[in-house]
Amino acid sequence: MRKLLRRIPLSLFAALVGLAAGLGLWEIIDATQKNAVRELYEQQLQENLEQRARETLIHFDHSLNSYNTAAQLLASHRRLANYLNPLYWFSDDRDPVTIYKDQPPPWLPEPSRWKPLISPSHILLIDSQGTLRLQLKYYAREGKQVGVFSYGSGCGAEFFLCSIRKGIRQIVDGFALGEQLVVREPVRVSVQR
């Protein structure tokens, strides 16, 4: 080995030792840098997630307040009070449920009052016995925004706004969700041991 080392020129030997030391140092620094970069990345990801969660929570809270304000406006509005004042339903009444589908009912406040609020698309008027008396299925018009709250188990929750696009009414009506809900049957499962 000594003979071999004597045959190698000193400059080449210094270059090989320098290269070996550089590679060793590079491996040590690379491992430390990888850990530092990974920690920095995870910290930034956590901060971004927390920021987005805060923003979503603030937006959700604002929307809930808007729904609350809209409900209070509707409940205390003179038109609704005038509509309900002369009405009295008896428990044995079998009048069909009044459904407003394409046009808003006359007691609903005019659209200009809903501008800063979330306008209702579905309203149920239920009497004191729990019987449905009136149903409003007033779909949002094209270009309007609808608040959507999405929750998936284990995935977190998200609140966002969607804009209504042209033709969505036909798609939603095509699902016939109301008819599907009416024909549901309870499922009973018996467990045998």
Task: Please tell me the predicted confidence (pLDDT) of residue 193.
Answer: 66
DSSP 16-68: HHHHHHHHHHHHHHHHHHHHHHHHHHHHHHHHHHHHHHHHHHHHHHHHHHHHH
Task: Please tell me the predicted confidence (pLDDT) of residue 43.
Answer: 93
What is the block-wise mean pLDDT of the chain (193 residues), using blocks of 10 residues?
Answer: 73 86 88 86 91 87 80 76 70 73 75 69 72 70 67 58 76 77 74 70
Task: Please tell me the predicted confidence (pLDDT) of residue 44.
Answer: 93
pTM > 0.85: yes or no: no
The angle subtended at Cα 81 by Cα 69 and Cα 72, nearest 5°, is: 10
Task: Please tell me the predicted confidence (pLDDT) of residue 137.
Answer: 72
Place of tokens 């008819």: 179
> What is the CA 145 to chain-centroid distance, rounded?
14
Domain positions in the chain are 2-58, 77-182
Task: Please tell me the predicted confidence (pLDDT) of residue 162.
Answer: 74
Other Cβ atoms less than 10 A from the Cβ of 21: the count is 10
Query: Distances from the Cα of 20 to the Cαs of 3, 14, 29, in angstroms?
Result: 21, 10, 14
DSSP class of residue 107? T
Task: Give the DSSP H/E element, type plus range, for residue 100.
Answer: strand 98-100
